[in-house]
Amino acid sequence: MITIPIVIPGRAYEVHVGRFAEPSAMADVLAKGLGDVTGVAVLVDETVGKRSPLVTPLVDALAARLPNVRRHDLPEGEACKNLREIERTTDWLAAQGFDRGVAVVGVGGGAAGDHAGFAAAIYLRGVRFALCPTTLLAMVDASVGGKTAVDLSAGKNLVGAFHQPRAVVADLGFLETLPVRERIAGLAEVVKAGLIADATLLAWLEEQADSLASGVVDPGLTECIAAAVRVKADVVAEDERESGRRAILNFGHTVGHALESASGYELLHGEAVALGMVAALNLGVSLGLTPPSLPKRAKNLLARLGLPIDVEHRLTNTVLLRMDVDKKRRSQAVRFVFVTEPGVTRLQDVPLAELRQRLSGT
């Protein structure tokens, strides 16, 4: 078990990563993190609830430790990330008679976690919450940093709030029921963490690529998740509200988001980020910011992990135009994250027209 402290002034908490011997151990950690509560609303991604044998024992174990524990299932994945479902959840919280002492516990991937965090941020103007991420992506990325949001028909994550959890418990046991494609997609964010801030993690991924791709969990996955969490934790501790340094977490995401939405979300987020990282590395080379050897090295690793790397033919006009609507765009320039050597980044504004021209030329 590895514990990573998240140091945000006034809102410090811990992320616990590992293979818990049994759900009661998870419940102990959650109960400690939540403190004195009058009730607990466990919001469960319904597919996780059906597939993972850990969910029911976890809810039972929470009920043995904390008062008034109730479970509410959410539509799976992105289907829960909208205001209708938030209304359904908050109506349910009110119907249970939960007061300001309630704690929300989200059990699921990044979608259920975002839903749970946002519901907790707005119910009675804010109640405490904790997360049990059940996808690799949620363990390494979505559960850390306190961003919560739901989608509008105009776009993803357009309504949300910053709200930090009291505890995050990532039990690798959940990964056993996770579809392979989802698990591999989560690895893209781990590669990102290595490229932007942790050269040792990158080298470790290269050593372990084959066993990671085949789904071997141990040894090492706990440390690997912890390393990625530390990268995000360090950045978030410096910049909770995304004014500066946090932008480096967007490495690969400008092109990635455009590809993801242009595919009608056929591409998983992590797959789109893998492609976006290849594009960002190529762009960095063409601007003289990224060493020419790095795109090849990264592509090799991503491909061995089972992630797509064939970005060139996907950069159609539609995709390039979509970067226009990226909310990180600053007037006519895009703030782009470049990797100048493994583990080191540089932010630079690139004029939109130049960006399109260079990307389509690569």
Ligand X SMILES: NC(=O)c1ccc[n+]([C@@H]2O[C@H](COP(=O)([O-])OP(=O)(O)OC[C@H]3O[C@@H](n4cnc5c(N)ncnc54)[C@H](O)[C@@H]3O)[C@@H](O)[C@H]2O)c1
What positions carry a catalytic annotation? 125, 147, 189, 232, 242, 246, 250, 253, 257, 269
Minimum CB distance to ligand X, residue 133 (Å):
7
Closer residue to ligand X (CB): 138 or 355: 138
Q: Tell me the pairing of strands 128-133 and 167-171.
A: parallel
What is the C-alpha separation between 122 and 131, in angstroms, rounded?
16
C-beta of 8: minimal distance to ligand X in Å? 14
Q: Strands (DSSP E) along 84-166, which ranges?
A: 102-108, 128-133, 147-152, 155-162
Could you give the CA distance from residue 313 to residue 305 in angstroms, rounded to a whole number?
21
Tell me the C-alpha distance between 55 and 295, whole Å. Answer: 41
Residues in touch with ligand X (CB under 6 A)? 45, 47-48, 51-52, 76-78, 81, 108-112, 114, 134-135, 137-138, 141-142, 145, 147, 156-157, 174, 177-178, 182, 269
Other CB atoms within 10 Å distance of the CB of residue 351: 12
CA 227, CA 242: separation in Å to the nearest integer?
A: 21
Q: Minimal distance in Å, beta carbon 73 to ligand X? A: 11
Which CB, 38 or 157, lies closer to ligand X?
157
Cβ distance to ligand X smaller for residue 128 or 356: 128
Six token digits for residue 146: 């306190």
Long-range pairs, 56-65, Cβ under 8 A, ≥24: 57/22, 57/23, 57/24, 58/23, 58/26, 58/27, 58/107, 58/132, 60/23, 61/23, 61/24, 61/26, 61/27, 62/27, 62/30, 62/31, 62/105, 64/24, 64/27, 65/27, 65/28, 65/31
What's the min distance (Å) between Cβ of 276 and ligand X? 14
Residues 240 and 8: beta-carbon distance below 8 Å: yes
Cβ nearer to ligand X, comparing 117 with 342: 117
Whole-number minimum distance, CB 110 to ligand X, in Å?
2
Residue whose CB is less far from ligand X, 32 or 50:
50
Nearer to ligand X among residue 270 and residue 343 (C-beta):
270
Q: At a CB cut-off of 8 Å and minimum separation 6, what does 66 contact?
A: 31, 34, 37, 39, 40, 103
Structure-token pair, residue 208: 């372990």
CB of 174 to ligand X, least distance (A): 4
